[in-house]
């Protein structure tokens, strides 16, 4: 099958950390199943944490020209990765395939690594302060609401609620 972006080369089947992808050797873009995109992003985040500067703001990537046509013949829709404006990807609603240009793959890697890094920082800070990991955040919220008396229409103290949530 030909590359939907450059239409110059046949896609080559490969894998990233045992997740199947199809790569274009000419433009270096990737086609991956929508469900597999999350696994690839998580693997890239683990590989890049400590390498990516968490404080560098991501600039929006330039939008590629033209609409892509999926293998099934349908025009791919553009969507913001994780709802963020930094990286817009193309996906086929019919086949559930996603196309990532080389710079979009870099953007996904950066966003994922920064998110993973921030989460690790929060957990490390919680451990230093003898806070525990919350296994049941919904239960913690319910109990905090009950203790603070901040149920709907209760007129309870929202500051007390915050304090109780962070004590959990």
Looking at residue 38, what is its pLDDT?
A: 86
Would you say residue 77 lies in a domain? Answer: yes
Q: What is the pLDDT of residue 11?
A: 92
- Residue 117 forms part of a structural domain: yes
Domain identity same for 109 and 145: no
What are the pLDDT digits (tens) for 52-96? 676 777 676 676 677 888 888 899 998 888 877 778 899 999 999
pLDDT of the residue at 154: 47
Indicate the pTM of the whole model.
0.64
Strands 88-92, 97-100: pairing is antiparallel
Question: For the chain, what percent of residues have pLDDT higher than 70?
Answer: 72
Cβ–Cβ under 8 Å, residues 37 and 98: yes
Q: Is residue 79 part of a domain?
A: yes
Whether residues 83 and 149 share a domain: the answer is: no
Contact 87, 78 (CB under 8 A): no
Q: What is the mean pLDDT of residues 44-50?
A: 80
Kindly tell me if the per-residue pLDDT of 23 is higher than 50.
yes
Decide if 6 is inside a domain: no
Tell me which residue of 8, 5, 13 sits closest to 104, measured CA to CA.
5
Do the domain assignments include residue 17? yes
Q: Is residue 2 part of a domain?
A: no
Q: Tell me, yes or no, whether 65 and 141 share the same domain.
A: no
Co-location of 30 and 93 in the same domain: yes
For residues 86 and 60, is the Cβ–Cβ distance under 8 A? Answer: yes
Phi, psi of 41 (to 5 degrees): -60, -40
Q: Identify whether the C-beta of residue 11 lies closer than 8 Å to the C-beta of residue 1.
A: yes
Residue 114 shares a structural domain with residue 45: yes
- Contact (CB, 8 A) for 133 and 141: no
Q: Is residue 3 included in any domain, yes or no?
A: no
For the chain, report the end-to-end CA distance as a whole number of angstroms.
53
Whether residue 144 sits in one domain with residue 95: no
Is 60 part of any domain? Answer: yes
* Nearest CA-CA partner of 46 in 120, 116, 106, 121: 116
**What sign does the CA torsion over 143, 115, 30, 84 have?**
positive
Under 8 Å between Cβ of 95 and 69: no
pLDDT: which is higher, 23 or 51: 23
Domain count, the chain: 2
Q: What confidence tier does 125 reach under pLDDT thresholds 50, 70, 90?
A: confident
* Together in a domain, 91 and 42: yes
Which domain, by its residues, includes 151?
137-167
80 and 159 in one domain? no
Whether residues 115 and 162 share a domain: the answer is: no
């Amino acid at each position: 099958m030909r590359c939907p972006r450059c239409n110059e080369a046949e896609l080559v089947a490969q894998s990233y950390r045992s997740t199947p992808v199809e790569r274009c050797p000419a433009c270096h873009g990737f086609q991956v199943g929508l469900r597999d995109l999350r696994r690839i992003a998580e693997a890239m985040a683990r590989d890049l944490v400590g390498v990516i500067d968490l404080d560098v703001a991501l600039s929006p990537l330039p939008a590629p020209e033209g609409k892509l046509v999926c293998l099934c013949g349908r025009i791919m829709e553009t969507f913001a990765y994780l709802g963020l404006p930094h990286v817009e990807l193309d996906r086929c609603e019919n086949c559930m395939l996603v196309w990532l240009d080389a710079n979009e793959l870099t953007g996904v890697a950066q966003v994922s690594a920064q998110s993973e890094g921030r989460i690790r920082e929060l957990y490390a800070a919680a451990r230093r302060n003898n806070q525990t990991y919350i296994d049941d955040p919904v239960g913690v919220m319910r109990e905090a609401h009950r203790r603070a008396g901040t149920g709907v229409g209760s007129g309870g103290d929202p500051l007390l609620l915050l304090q109780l949530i962070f004590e959990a």
